[in-house]
Amino acid sequence: MGNRTPLYDEHLALGARMVDFGGWDMPVNYGSQIEEHHAVRKDAGMFDVSHMTVLDLSGERVRDFLRYLLANDVSKLRVPGKALYSCMLREDGGIIDDLIVYFLRDDFFRMVTNAATRDKDLPWITKHAEPFGVEVRERDDLALVAVQGPQARDKAVSCLDAQYREPALALKPFSAVDCGSMFIARTGYTGEDGFEIMLPATEAVGFWRALNAAGVKPAGLGARDTLRLEAAMNLYGSDMDESTHPLESALGWTVAWEPADRDFIGRKALEAHQAEGVRNKLVGLLLEDRGVLRGHQKVFTNAGEGEITSGTFSPTLERSIALARVPVGAEGECEVEIRGKRLKARIITPPFVRNGEIKVQL
């Protein structure tokens, strides 16, 4: 038996098909993954993502610590509640995890990391926090619910206490605010607008039911994967891991090179990669023939061979799409080997879909 979130019984009651995900029993769908996907693109869906790891970081030197730990620079965060996406790197530039960090006070930040990476993240973060006198506290007392879709914010605020509706609706993208016992962030992993809401585990069932009653459709990890792939958001463990670095993972934009004197873990290695020339890049693929692209299929491009890192059928495009790591010079038409046959595909600039709109030429 795996770990269970506070919403486990709700998932069973809603008829979810449960699967193991990084040691957690999680809902993969509640019937139709494709219907759940469309609900998020067109209306509002909700995901239980309580399996993710929430860490509170406190101490006078917490900002200095995070400027050393992360490849992105938390000194960009000046307004309380503001969030930043970053990679956490090894010395050799390999990606340990990707995460979101929220600035709350000068001596207090909150970080959300992946579930499957928890057991390596915690020792790494704790080890590096110690010299800075930063305390790391895991918030396993919190549940995390993502409400996503064009109607997500309106439907979610209808479930809040009246006094919190206005501050929640006023949130700018990538910002968060405390609403009583809830911590509400305008972030997500679907390419749609919405919130990610942290709340005490004891309140999770009541809030989930209220959202459901407000017309927010439960959606499983299956839909979460097709949604994030259409939005071309990387999945840790598939599109990147410790053997790859951000510059070959379409995450160069998350590496803060300036100020040049900021020393962060992995900086020297990334500078060396850049000096000698990065060989690979992560791109989008659109399959032109019939079939379904999947992870590890070989890609043949004008610039040499590459590999699909994650692929699926896109419910919005009704075509198969993928992310693939290919040589930097690759562009245009390519071929993918599926069960011994070479099928026609096209390299595209991600995303495939954003805010309900198709962003690629079909």
Residues that bind another protein (CB under 8 A): 17, 28-29, 32-34, 222, 226, 290-292, 294, 312-313, 315, 320, 339
Shortest spacing between CB 293 and another protein, in angstroms: 10
Amino acid in the structure at residue 280:
N
Closer of 247 and 287 to another protein (Cβ): 287
Q: Phi then psi for 165, rounded to 5 degrees? A: -65, -45
Closer of 5 and 226 to another protein (Cβ): 226
Shortest spacing between CB 335 and another protein, in angstroms: 18
Closer of 36 and 196 to another protein (Cβ): 36
Q: Which two tokens stand for residue 245?
A: 């670095």
| Nearest-angstrom CA–CA distance, 194 and 191 | 9
Please, what's the largest Cα pairwise distance for the chain? Answer: 60
Shortest spacing between CB 316 and another protein, in angstroms: 12
**257 contact partners, CB below 8 Å, separation of at least 6:** none
H helical segments located in the chain: 8-13, 33-42, 62-69, 118-129, 152-157, 162-169, 204-213, 221-230, 267-276
Shortest spacing between CB 193 and another protein, in angstroms: 23
Closer of 93 and 291 to another protein (Cβ): 291
Considering only CA atoms, which of 53, 257, 24 is closest in space to residue 142? 53
Shortest spacing between CB 222 and another protein, in angstroms: 6
Closer of 172 and 339 to another protein (Cβ): 339
Closer of 151 and 226 to another protein (Cβ): 226
Distances from the Cα of 242 to the Cα of 73, 112, 113, 126, angstroms: 20, 18, 15, 19
Considering only CA atoms, which of 51, 189, 20 is closest in space to residue 115? 51
Q: Which two tokens stand for residue 135?
A: 């305390």
Shortest spacing between CB 313 and another protein, in angstroms: 4
HSE value, Cβ hemisphere, 13 Å, CA-based, for 138: 15
Closer of 175 and 314 to another protein (Cβ): 314
Shortest spacing between CB 279 and another protein, in angstroms: 30
Shortest spacing between CB 28 and another protein, in angstroms: 7
User: What letter would DSSP give residue 44?
Assistant: -
Amino acid in the structure at residue 16:
A
For every residue of 89-104, which 3-state class applies, written as one string? ECCCCCEEEEEEEEEE
Distances from the Cα of 161 to the Cα of 28, 148, 290, angstroms: 31, 20, 49
Considering only CA atoms, which of 54, 197, 198 is closest in space to residue 112? 54
Closer of 21 and 124 to another protein (Cβ): 21
Closer of 105 and 339 to another protein (Cβ): 339
Shortest spacing between CB 331 and another protein, in angstroms: 26
Shortest spacing between CB 312 and another protein, in angstroms: 6
Q: Which two tokens stand for residue 225?
A: 């994967």
Closer of 292 and 303 to another protein (Cβ): 292
Backbone region of residue 356 per phi and psi (left: phi > 0; alpha: psi in -120 to 50; beta: other values):
left
Q: Is the dihedral of CA 344, 346, 350, 352 positive or negative?
A: negative
